[in-house]
């Protein structure tokens, strides 16, 4: 049953990742992967809210935690895409943009978790 929960959550998360990433990318210049950045930030924020706002306070059942944390957030966030886009920037000698992408994704997703932690307290 847990496999089905993760499977469904991942599918939903993947669809939402695609929709949000495409939408965001259309709003900004194409030379930087803004869609992936926004998805990673939001996914980290959602995961933080679930852990700090629900799980630590024992307000979420294990199946929903599995659905959101492993399923939805796993299907929604895009670390492998982030890695490929960063590699592509670096391979194309876009060192500054590659560095910005690394710093922005890592720092902003940690900030997303921190903000979720603060909201949940």
The ranges of the chain with pLDDT < 70 are none
- Cα 5 to Cα 17: distance, rounded to the nearest angstrom: 18
Question: What's the residue count for the chain?
Answer: 121
77 token code pair? 């966030």
Q: What is the pLDDT of residue 113?
A: 93
- Cα 89 to Cα 26: distance, rounded to the nearest angstrom: 19
Report how far apart, in Å, the C-alpha atoms of 6 and of each of 10, 32, 55, 100 are: 6, 31, 17, 32
Domain count, the chain: 1
Q: What is the pLDDT of residue 84?
A: 84
Q: What is the pLDDT of residue 116?
A: 94
Residue range of the domain that includes 54: 2-120
């Amino acid at each position: 049953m847990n496999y089905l929960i993760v499977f469904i959550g991942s599918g939903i998360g993947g669809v939402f990742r695609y929709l949000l990433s495409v939408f965001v990318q259309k709003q900004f210049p194409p030379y930087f992967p803004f869609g992936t950045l926004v998805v990673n930030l939001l996914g980290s924020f959602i995961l933080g809210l679930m852990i700090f706002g629900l799980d630590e306070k024992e307000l979420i059942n294990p199946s929903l935690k599995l659905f959101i944390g492993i399923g939805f957030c796993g299907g929604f966030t895009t670390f492998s895409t982030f890695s490929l886009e960063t590699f592509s920037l670096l391979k194309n000698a876009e060192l500054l943009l590659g560095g910005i992408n690394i710093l922005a994704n890592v720092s902003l997703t940690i900030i997303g978790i921190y903000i979720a932690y603060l909201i949940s307290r």
